[in-house]
Homo-oligomer: A and B are copies of this chain.
Amino acid sequence: MNEAKKKLAITELALRDGHQSLLATRMRLDDMLPICDKLDKIGYWSVEAWGGATFDTCLRYLKEGPWVRLRELNKALPNTRIQMLLRGQNLLGYRHYADDVVQKFVDMASANGVDVFRVFDAMNDLRNVRTAIKQVKANNRHAEGTICYTTSPVHTLEYFVDLGKGLEDMGCDTLAIKDMAGLLTPVNTRELISALKNEVSIPLHLHCHATSGVAEMVQWEAVHAGCDIIDTAISPLAGGTSHPATESMVAAFAGTEYDTGLDLVALQAVAAHFREVRKKYSRFESDATRMDTRVFINQIPGGMISNLANQLKEQGAQDKMDEVLDEIPRVRKDFGYPPLVTPTSQIVGTQAVLNVVSGKKYKVITNETKSYLKGMYGKALGIINEDVRKLAIGDEEPIDVRPADLLQNEMDALTREIGDKAKSVEDVLSYAMFPTIALQFFEERESGHFNPEPLEAPTEPAGAHSEVVTAQSL
């Protein structure tokens, strides 16, 4: 019994974060379905296959119905739980949605095949994940709460433990630690996992990007400290800005009390498939997905740095990168130390660029910064710099309620708006999250001719668009 309890469980990321991290989220269903039979027999705890940036990419570039993809994967993986990544009240879009949209989305995702919902909020504001998590449980699905890991003077072990307890109390079945930037080191991982293990009784699930080259050691230490489930990607989609390789972690723990029980020979067949698949997407490969250890110095996620580089280039200010990297921690402090993940990474990064390029701090303030400082993304853990808030919103009162509390139910309005262009409630939800590209998708579908981005021979450099999608939700 004890032995069985100690067995390490694995979530395979090949179908979502693996290609999102390395191939700009471009993998198509046609390259997934042929291997599903073998994937289904591996014995994974779950296969992450939906959500994150995949929904956007399906509609925008691949012209592939995201809900169709989910149904097809669900059929092809009858014995394996499909996991999705959900940005709490933002769902998969870029604003807060009213509760009825969130509830309907979770209902339809459940109905179409999602078994495990990993729900996170960039601010770690529990109010922003509550509706989604409650609805997951109402659908009898597995709810995984998430701690977005970051470091700052206010992000203490006690804080993370309280956050974990809050998620457990909310009814979560498991607790994910999401280290999007590769900030965890073996030493602080052991401390964090041990502290959580002492106070939280639901299983712990670690998601740590390999960007800084320490993720394998981080997982090794995490498991020894009591972590129950780890996220890995089959080797051709592992490493760099992706994750530790599935086979490597399985082999590392083989024969130990944490033995995963997974078959390395069976995993090789999966690896062989994705080794070939990766070659097809070579135009989406870039230097920006390689290992990058700068995070040890500046605590800034690698994906964010390449976005900043693009922004500076557009403004002809490439030489200002060092100043921007110095400015980011200051902006983050002014903002009360949000974790840097979508959308806060973009808000902080863009404001830092403006502070440097305009020549004066907060001389130009983005609308997103204004919303943030008004509390429209949720509550920051640290103290907001009131002088900066004043510059941004003047005498306007920041809100102290949950952002979505200010929203009226909107499913009916959305349904009316889209009219008969939507063929299903799923279509309405697609439209809710991505109004413009969903409409275009519906039109192409109606015309019987989809116009996907070509896989070969780019007509423009692959960099520009792909970066945006890559950086979305690490």
Contacts and interface: CB of A to CB of B under 8 A. Distances in A.
A235 B268 CA distance: 27
A248 B187 contact: no
A213 interface: yes
Nearest to A188: B255
A220 B222 CA distance: 13
Contacts of A293: 235, 245, 247-248, 251, 264, 267-268, 271
Nearest to A292: B235
A244 interface: yes
Contacts of A186: 220, 252
A287 interface: yes
A184 to B, nearest CB: 10
Chain copies in complex: 2
B290 A251 contact: no
A34 to B, nearest CB: 20
Contact of A248 (B212, B236, B279, B287): B212
A216 interface: yes
Contacts of A248: 212-214, 291, 293
A294 to B, nearest CB: 6
Interface string A245-264: 10110011011100000001
Interface in A216-237: 216-217, 220-221, 235-236
B291 A213 contact: no
A413 interface: no
Interface string A419-459: 00000000000000000000000000000000000000000
Interface residues of A, number: 38
B216 A213 contact: yes
Nearest to A245: B213
Contacts of A464: none
A52 interface: no
Contacts of A290: 236, 239
Nearest to A215: B216
Interface of A: 185-187, 212-214, 216-217, 220-221, 235-236, 238-240, 244-245, 247-248, 251-252, 254-256, 264-265, 267-268, 271, 279, 287, 290-294, 296-297
30 contacts: A185-B251, A187-B252, A212-B247, A212-B248, A212-B251, A213-B235, A213-B244, A213-B245, A213-B247, A214-B251, A216-B217, A217-B220, A217-B252, A220-B221, A235-B293, A236-B290, A238-B291, A239-B239, A239-B240, A239-B291, A245-B291, A245-B293, A248-B291, A251-B296, A264-B293, A264-B296, A264-B297, A267-B293, A271-B294, A279-B287
